[in-house]
Amino acid sequence: MSNDFDNVYEDLQWRNAIAEATPGAQEVLSREKVTCYIGFDPTAKSLHIGNLVPIMGLVRMQRHGHTPIAIVGGGTGMIGDPSGRSEERQLLTLEQIDENVAGIQRQLESFLDFSPSLPNRAQVINNADWLRKVSLIEFLRDVGKHFTVNTMLSRESVRTRMDRDVGISFTEFSYQLLQAYDFLRLFEEQNCTFQMGGSDQWGNILGGVDLIRRIHGGAQQAASASEQRTASKMQPAELPAHALAYPLITTSTGEKFGKSIGGAPTLDPDQTSPYRLYQFFFNVADADAVPYLKLFTMLSRERIEALQEAVETAPGEREAQLTLAAEMTSAVHGDRGLDEARRVTHALFSGDLRKLSATELRGALTEASHGMVRPADLHNGITLASAVTVHGGGMVSSASELRRLVAQGAIKINGNVETDPLRPLTDADFIDNQVMVVQRGKKSHDLIWLEPDQR
């Protein structure tokens, strides 16, 4: 597949994965095999789908023969990047960070090839290795000396915070130095000459590029990366280190990618089931399907172009969405995850709930919340409303809400539209005398179990 393109740069470019690049980046990538890195913030214990762009960036680099390094920010995470934040961050504890780092590391390992035999094997490095050790004096002399406060203050992320009365702490203000320092260390110790990141990180990234240029010069005449950007006419002397930034992904309607189902789906099966991940990508709008295939999958250019054709000629088949969903689910959760996702999808959208046994329902509706009623409740004439709101799994939060949903025909009990929220339940409402399936709209389910009679 990598022979679709002569080099990663062209590959990434075709996939619209490049928003910014340092001058000369493309030439370097087409000429030599480099070591590159991307940083991941340990703000949560799982990566989410928003991280897929950088992850796939590293994967593509590796496929093209470059050596990828994923930095997990066990050190920078202790400070917090002010970019895109209107308020000071809550500092995470050391334990939280280390736990998050471990979780992220595990997830990265399923994407990148870490085989020791591989000459360009991937590495995960925790920047805590050096950031938690470096001494303040050393840091200020070696790194701080190369930055002017004037430049640091002009940073967008800093300015927006300065304009607000909450201000910005010195801690977060220093963040840009730390990220630059990371790059410097990797440059010196791993011969890492490339950094990639989101375009929102571009300022921080250039900080590192410039720091390396100042210390390791190369061509003395090399203007700073930022200067070269503005004066790109002149033939630039080669920079010792380079960077690429990918664009921030939005949907075709301009929403932030991944916002739909209450927060971005994560890559952790305990938080976001394979089914939900599958559904997320399956439900992508036509206009987004091909862009996402390009960005997130390893499918060949030929294949993607064929799918693009399919979207145009037979959008109703949703071949692109199906492929996207399958690719993503198996990439994140493996073939077993994909099987599960498909099985649940089939049960929910093509199957007949009433034909399934209680056991099958439990297996199929892994997404459902769960509730429980006792036989005694039944004898006392418990109403449907009470069962769903009080004893249910929390899918409907109040009786008023249930009333409205019922009035709109949105509630189905065991597959049948319900009309009376106040009717008492009977044994007949429980499939196999065990479980009642409450469905809200098309996509959410609540299983209410009848507690086995213990006499």
Q: Which has the closest alpha carbon to 179: 229, 127, 228?
A: 127
**Nearest CB to RNA, comparing residues 13 and 414:** 414
Sort 283 into a burial class: Cβ within 10 Å, 0-12 / 13-18 / 19+: middle
Taking the C-alpha atoms of residue 56 and residue 12, their distance in angstroms, rounded to an integer, is 10
To the nearest whole angstrom, how small is the minimum distance from the Cβ of residue 407 to RNA?
7
To the nearest whole angstrom, how small is the minimum distance from the Cβ of residue 254 to RNA?
9
Degrees (nearest 5) of the Cα angle 46, 49, 50? Answer: 100
To the nearest whole angstrom, how small is the minimum distance from the Cβ of residue 199 to RNA?
24
To the nearest whole angstrom, how small is the minimum distance from the Cβ of residue 17 to RNA?
23
Intra-chain end-to-end CA distance of the chain, in Å: 65
192 binds RNA per the rule CB under 7 A: no
**Nearest CB to RNA, comparing residues 213 and 333:** 333
Taking the C-alpha atoms of residue 32 and residue 425, their distance in angstroms, rounded to an integer, is 71
211 binds RNA per the rule CB under 7 A: no
Per DSSP, 205 falls in state H
Candidates 171-179, 206-214, 242-250, 396-404; binding stretch for RNA (CB under 7 A): 396-404
Taking the C-alpha atoms of residue 360 and residue 214, their distance in angstroms, rounded to an integer, is 64
DSSP string, 389-407: HTSS-SSS--HHHHHHHHH
Site string for RNA, 284-313 (x = CB under 7 A): xxxx--------------------------
425 binds RNA per the rule CB under 7 A: no
Taking the C-alpha atoms of residue 85 and residue 158, their distance in angstroms, rounded to an integer, is 10
Sort 235 into a burial class: Cβ within 10 Å, 0-12 / 13-18 / 19+: exposed
Site string for RNA, 265-284 (x = CB under 7 A): --------------x--xxx
> Nearest 5°: phi and psi at 203?
-60, -50
To the nearest whole angstrom, how small is the minimum distance from the Cβ of residue 428 to RNA?
23
To the nearest whole angstrom, how small is the minimum distance from the Cβ of residue 370 to RNA?
18
- Please check whether residue 37 is in contact with residue 186, taking contact to mean a CB–CB distance below 8 angstroms: yes
Q: Of 433-452, which residues contact RNA (CB under 7 A)?
A: 440-444
400 binds RNA per the rule CB under 7 A: yes
> Nearest 5°: phi and psi at 74?
-65, -20
* H helical segments located in 350-448: 358-364, 375-379, 384-389, 399-407
- Please check whether residue 437 is in contact with residue 359, taking contact to mean a CB–CB distance below 8 angstroms: no
Residue choice 397, 416, 419, 433 for contact with RNA (CB under 7 A): 397
| Structure tokens belonging to residue 233 | 């006419």
To the nearest whole angstrom, how small is the minimum distance from the Cβ of residue 344 to RNA?
9
**Nearest CB to RNA, comparing residues 45 and 318:** 318
Candidates 10-18, 95-103, 189-197, 399-407; binding stretch for RNA (CB under 7 A): 399-407
Q: Of 138-177, which residues contact RNA (CB under 7 A)?
A: 164-166
- Please check whether residue 213 is in contact with residue 185, taking contact to mean a CB–CB distance below 8 angstroms: no
Q: Edge-to-edge strand order for the sheet containing 123-126?
A: 20-21, 242-246, 192-198, 35-40, 67-72, 123-126
94 binds RNA per the rule CB under 7 A: no
235 binds RNA per the rule CB under 7 A: no
Q: Of 401-420, which residues contact RNA (CB under 7 A)?
A: 401, 403-405, 408-410
21 binds RNA per the rule CB under 7 A: no
Taking the C-alpha atoms of residue 242 and residue 287, their distance in angstroms, rounded to an integer, is 33
Rama region for 67: left / alpha / beta (φ>0; ψ in -120 to 50; rest): beta
The residues that bridge with 242 in the sheet, in sequence order, are 194
Candidates 83-91, 171-179, 234-242, 392-400; binding stretch for RNA (CB under 7 A): 392-400
Candidates 54-62, 205-213, 384-392, 447-455; binding stretch for RNA (CB under 7 A): 384-392
**Nearest CB to RNA, comparing residues 223 and 347:** 347
Residue choice 29, 331, 385, 413 for contact with RNA (CB under 7 A): 385
Taking the C-alpha atoms of residue 385 and residue 43, their distance in angstroms, rounded to an integer, is 40
To the nearest whole angstrom, how small is the minimum distance from the Cβ of residue 400 to RNA?
3
315 binds RNA per the rule CB under 7 A: yes
**Nearest CB to RNA, comparing residues 212 and 405:** 405
Q: Of 321-380, which residues contact RNA (CB under 7 A)?
A: 321, 345, 349
To the nearest whole angstrom, how small is the minimum distance from the Cβ of residue 282 to RNA?
5
| Residues at the site binding RNA, with contacts judged by CB under 7 A | 164-166, 252-253, 279, 282-287, 315-316, 318, 321, 345, 349, 385-386, 389, 397-401, 403-405, 408-410, 440-444
